[in-house]
Amino acid sequence: MPGAFYITTPIYYVNDVPHLGHAYTTIAADALARYHRMRGDDVRFLTGTDEHGQKIERAAAEKGVTPQQFVDQVSETFRSLPAVLACEPNDFIRTTEARHKKVVHELWEKCRANGFISEGTYAGLYCVGCEAYYTEKELEAKDGAFFCPIHKTKVEKVEEPSFFFDLDKLEGQLLELYEKNPKFIQPESRRNEVISFVKGGLQKLSLSRTSFKWGISVPGADKHVVYVWFDALTNYLSALENAADRAKYWPESVHLIGKDILRFHAIYWPAFLMAAGIPVPKQVFAHGWLNVNGHKMSKSLRNTVEPKKLVEVFTADVVRFYLLREVAFGLDGDFSHEQLFARYKADLADNLGNLLNRSLGLCAKLRPASGGGTLTAVDGPLETKLADVARSSLATVIGAWDEIAPHKALEAALALGRAGNKYIDEAAPWNEGKKGEEGRVRVDTILATALETLRWIATMLWPVMPSVSDRIHEQLGLAKLAPTPSGKSGADLWQLIWSPSWDAAKLPVGTPIFPKIEPDRQAAILKELGVDAALAEANAATPAAAASPDGTKGAPAPKKSKEIAPPAAEITYEEFSRLDLRIGLVVSGERVPKSDKLLKLMVDLGESSPRQIVAGIGKSFAPEALVGQQVVVVANLKPAKLMGLESRGMIFAASGEAGESDLALLMPGKPRAPGTRVK
């Protein structure tokens, strides 16, 4: 049943221009919005800018302009970003707008009327970068001073008159919210983090500032400006300014954010709403950080990647694909230009592009449009098998979007691409053409089946690569998908029916969508992007540039453990070569019931079907985080039974200081075809 779906990004600070980290959240939100539009849901997608607070006031002063001039200027760079990224928000809210101020005042008044706001004096530590209060134990101490764990800057001592919010009164109610709504905070690991923080005890929160001016004044107390997080979080409500929208979209909201601002969204925001007697949102989903060589991409660390330039070179669809495919959503991941080229080649050019080009090429050669008639499939075993893969891929795609796991959705679409290519290899239409009437039926069957596979893949890709999907539809001679526009509910486009039948007179024509990028061109692109050759090399040398499922990818190497065991007894090369090591792709995973350690994984080793491997890595990894990851597998280990389940292989991992709870998986530095031998 279609329903209302309200998706939001954080509203971004305008103290500097947008970078790829901001683009990442906006792209993920847009893809999710598109998935829901395809389902026929009435979608509202909101983004915007956070324009008040001490940080902005200082940034404006540094530029020698008024805060208003400053925010007007920078906000525009954020407003124009979504279109560059092929994102289509329905609204862009600025916290300096009148519609927003009005709702902030209303929320404040409600909290005060219900007895949650009182007056006093605040004395403590404040990070202007985070616009957040900290206790000493949350900070990094050095030479008698305290530093923000995120910005690495010295925090400031603040002492000023302030209004306070009784956050402590809501501890029980918050814990009940998390308990009764297990999906309120996602992913699971973040939920646990928040629960233990709240269980550790909440303190009253300073809700206004008096030592600077740039903010929304407190109703009835002009000397105070509203604490910038109370102001900012309210944007999610103030953008639904008319009553009909409020009734329709609230509280059907999913707040997509980075893990840096989880506490504000998962504790403060529901607490403010509870105090005001307003329903809390449906979900807060915190994704991980996009790192550059292991460090969070951020303005203060000066390691940002500029999204516009990247899109000019690669197109928005490819950048969207790379970011959502590369990083297991929810965990940290590394951005590298090298890896972007590698994904482009392996997933887009060699898999999807190849399937499209060879299918169209075979149509032109074996069944030119002038031949007329209808291409229908008379199913044999190969066709039935492929249709089954298509149906199960589609179910995986839908399930993955429902749990906000774009990387899994993309992997399922790519798996169908691989199956399609394999199908053409096995069905070998080039041989059938020579076999008279029977052969002609087979040729029609194979071509119709290949085209149908492409139609399904193009549908699955639309949320992430809308233009590519449109172009594939066009090349197949089909109308583009037309998902439900906002404000309406409509048809569910995910209800695909496998029907390989094509009018031969309208057989597809087209040019390659993912042309090969030769090394010369690659070097020229890197130059165009201003990527320092040394940086590119460093990226290439970074092992497993893909996101690590435990989110620690690229972190500085830990110090040598004190007790490194001496090497085991020597073996000969012959003995070593008896080991058959292969690249495996994790296609699905679940926990083994009653075990906190064992995971049951299905791993594609390029064989006719994925293998079941039971791995003792469950204390370090959530099974869903492994899906889409490439691992190294001992492929010729004698099958064993673990808790009654057959395991056909072993996955390589290295333990850290915390043993089984701190494993690092061995992964290839670039994507490799499943089954590739490791020597």
Per the annotation, the verdict on 296 as an active-site residue is yes
Q: Which is nearer to ligand ME8, 258 or 671 (CB)?
A: 258
Per the annotation, the verdict on 100 as an active-site residue is no
Per the annotation, the verdict on 148 as an active-site residue is yes
| 246-274: b (≥16 Cβ within 10 Å) or e | eebbbebbbbbbbbbbbbbbbbbbbbbbb
* Helix, strand, or coil (residue 377): coil
Q: Which of residues 24-53 bind ligand ME8 (CB under 6 A)?
A: 24-25, 50
Least Cβ distance, residue 449 to ligand ME8 (angstroms) = 41
Pairing of β 253-258 and β 283-287: parallel
Q: Which of 223, 222, 214 is nearest to 66 (CA)?
A: 214
Least Cβ distance, residue 22 to ligand ME8 (angstroms) = 5
Q: Which is nearer to ligand ME8, 50 or 604 (CB)?
A: 50
How far is residue 513's CA from residue 130's CA, in Å, rounded to a whole number? 43
Per the annotation, the verdict on 299 as an active-site residue is yes
Does the footprint of ligand ME8 cover residue 232 (CB under 6 A)? Answer: yes
163 to 202: interface string for ligand ME8, x by CB under 6 A = ----------------------------------------
256 to 285: interface string for ligand ME8, x by CB under 6 A = -xx-xx------------------------
Does the footprint of ligand ME8 cover residue 13 (CB under 6 A)? Answer: yes
- 614, 643 contact by CB (below 8 A): yes
* Helix, strand, or coil (residue 180): helix
Q: Which is nearer to ligand ME8, 261 or 319 (CB)?
A: 261
Stretches 62-70, 198-206, 293-301, 358-366: which one binds ligand ME8 (CB under 6 A)? Answer: 293-301
Backbone angles phi, psi at 36, to 5 degrees: -70, -35
Candidates 5, 6, 12, 163: give the one binding ligand ME8 (CB under 6 A).
Answer: 12
Residue among 36, 130, 265, 407 flagged as catalytic:
130
Does the footprint of ligand ME8 cover residue 238 (CB under 6 A)? Answer: no
Per the annotation, the verdict on 151 as an active-site residue is yes
How far is residue 139's CA from residue 293's CA, in Å, rounded to a whole number? 24
Give 19's contacts (C-beta < 8 A, 6+ positions apart): 297, 298, 299, 304, 305, 306, 307
Does the footprint of ligand ME8 cover residue 328 (CB under 6 A)? Answer: no
- Asked whether the CA dihedral 66, 69, 72, 77 is positive or negative, the reply is negative
Does the footprint of ligand ME8 cover residue 21 (CB under 6 A)? Answer: yes
Least Cβ distance, residue 156 to ligand ME8 (angstroms) = 18
Least Cβ distance, residue 629 to ligand ME8 (angstroms) = 19
- 527, 473 contact by CB (below 8 A): no
Residue among 169, 299, 309, 385 flagged as catalytic:
299
Give 536's contacts (C-beta < 8 A, 6+ positions apart): 337, 338, 526
127 to 166: interface string for ligand ME8, x by CB under 6 A = ----------------------------------------
- 349, 414 contact by CB (below 8 A): no
- 238, 102 contact by CB (below 8 A): yes
Q: Which residue has the tokens 């309208």?
A: 506
Residue among 19, 55, 224, 600 flagged as catalytic:
19
Stretches 6-14, 66-74, 208-216, 355-363: which one binds ligand ME8 (CB under 6 A)? Answer: 6-14
Q: Which is nearer to ligand ME8, 17 or 650 (CB)?
A: 17
Q: Which is nearer to ligand ME8, 46 or 177 (CB)?
A: 46
How far is residue 292's CA from residue 289's CA, in Å, rounded to a whole number? 10
Give the DSSP letter of residue 376.
E
Q: Which of 397, 386, 356, 387 is nearest to 494 (CA)?
A: 397
Q: Which of 510, 515, 516 is nearest to 360 (CA)?
A: 510
Q: Which of 97, 20, 83, 9 is nearest to 51 (CA)?
A: 97
Does the footprint of ligand ME8 cover residue 471 (CB under 6 A)? Answer: no
Candidates 296, 308, 309, 597: give the one binding ligand ME8 (CB under 6 A).
Answer: 296
Least Cβ distance, residue 378 to ligand ME8 (angstroms) = 50
Does the footprint of ligand ME8 cover residue 22 (CB under 6 A)? Answer: yes
- Residues contacting ligand ME8: total by CB under 6 A: 21
Give me the residues that bind ligand ME8 (CB under 6 A), please.
Answer: 10-13, 21-22, 24-25, 50, 232-233, 235, 257-258, 260-261, 289-290, 296-298
Catalytic residues: 19, 22, 127, 130, 148, 151, 296, 299
